[in-house]
Amino acid sequence: MEIIKGGVTAAKGFEAAGVEAAIKYKNRKDMALVYSQAPCKAAGTFTTNVVKAAPVLWDKDIVDNSPAVHAVVVNAGIANACTGKQGYAYCKETAEVASKALNVPENSVLVASTGVIGMQLPMDRIAAGVEKLADAKKASLEAGLMAAEAIMTTDTVSKEVAVSFDIGGVTVTMGGMCKGSGMIHPNMCTMLGFVTTDAAISKELLTKALKEDVVDTFNMISVDGDTSTNDTLLVLANGCAGNAEIIAEDENYAKFKEALHYVNMTLAKKMAGDGEGATALFETKVINAKTKEDARILAKSVICSSLTKAAIFGHDANWGRILCALGYSGAQFDPEQLELFFEGGGKRIQIYKDGVATDYSEEEATVILSQPEVTVVVDMKNGTEEATAWGCDLSYDYVKINADYRS
């Protein structure tokens, strides 16, 4: 597998665009399109929040029941959540406009929205935006970047990744983009993620690969503990690479899963590191746990701890907060058996062993915790399983951003 430049347009046959439609924002791109002339197999995972946005309901139906997908239309600024029957009707209307503009079936159009909950979409602007997207779409890497920029809300940077890999002597490409900065606590994230590939793969295996992988990628991140109404992750496969279709769980399927895992993990980490007001990516790695589920629960508990996140922001080696988060996670363990380490900037120190603090240097700990990427390693010493979770520090700016989000 090779890491390459690009995002959703890296794979053959995919085009994209990002345009200004003035949905809520002014003087910035706020609508995006991902398009494939060739029909795509589609798989998706969606929010587990009982309150689901209209686009989530629309997309789930299309993914489950439509024979093929050609396009995804995304708007930023308004989430189209808690908008009743009218909100769902606007999803259908968006698909109708896109169907005509792109000359594809209406039931091959997916839609996604992110932004303020409770506001109705301005459909005149949405429709005009779709027309602009159809005219602007291109297969260039720049077009993919414009789409990635258009789906941002409080994100500070666009988020893209792409890889190429070999399937039976044929070069296959996979790329993706995502957005998400606040209300990020996925359990399948306001997280939106879109992955495109020119691989030929059965819908059944595409779905299986995605659902198995999100457990250790997107579901292992958290910014603020809030699970969005709009969380959507979509994978489109158009088969344009020309490989023999992957229909069995063989070596080629393993290669596909490896690429998908890298793309999902990279996008998830980019999202966690760009949490609202964040100054650092905060990673927790649990090793030698009794079960895989214990490892996941423990790692997620630490990165979700507001007190721990605040300590990371303050570069304070307040390891007691980590022990506290481990203790209320629900996993059972002997606290005098585990060991804790801080890692960052190529340095590593042990801070806890045999039930007490080690004789570590506070100054050295502060240097490590001042890095842009900080890792807490928790060695449970009661098994062989491991898991990693990603979050960010908790700064003053998180409150500032969310105290005034609707304006």
Enzyme catalytic residues: 190
- Return d(Cα 228, Cα 236) in angstroms, integer: 22
Cα 339 from Cα 356, distance rounded (Å) = 9
What kind and span of H or E run contains 36? strand 31-46
- Pair 4, 173: CB distance under 8 Å: yes
User: Using alpha carbons only, how large is the chain's radius of gyration in Å?
Assistant: 22
User: What's the first-to-final CA gap in the chain, in angstroms?
Assistant: 44
Q: Which residue has the tokens 């363990």?
A: 333
CA nearest neighbour of 224 among 179, 293, 270, 274: 274
For strand 159-167 and strand 109-116, is the pairing parallel, antiparallel, or unpaired?
unpaired
In contact, 42 and 235? CB cutoff 8 Å = yes
CA 55, distance to chain mean position in Å, is: 17
Sign of the CA dihedral running 274, 280, 281, 282: negative
Can you tell me the distance from the alpha carbon of 268 to that of 247, in angstroms, rounded to the nearest whole number? Answer: 27
CA–chain centroid gap for 175, Å, is: 13
Phi, psi at residue 322, to the nearest 5°?
Answer: -70, -45
244, 169 contact by CB (below 8 A): no
Beta-strand runs (E) in 238-359: 281-289, 339-344, 347-353, 356-357
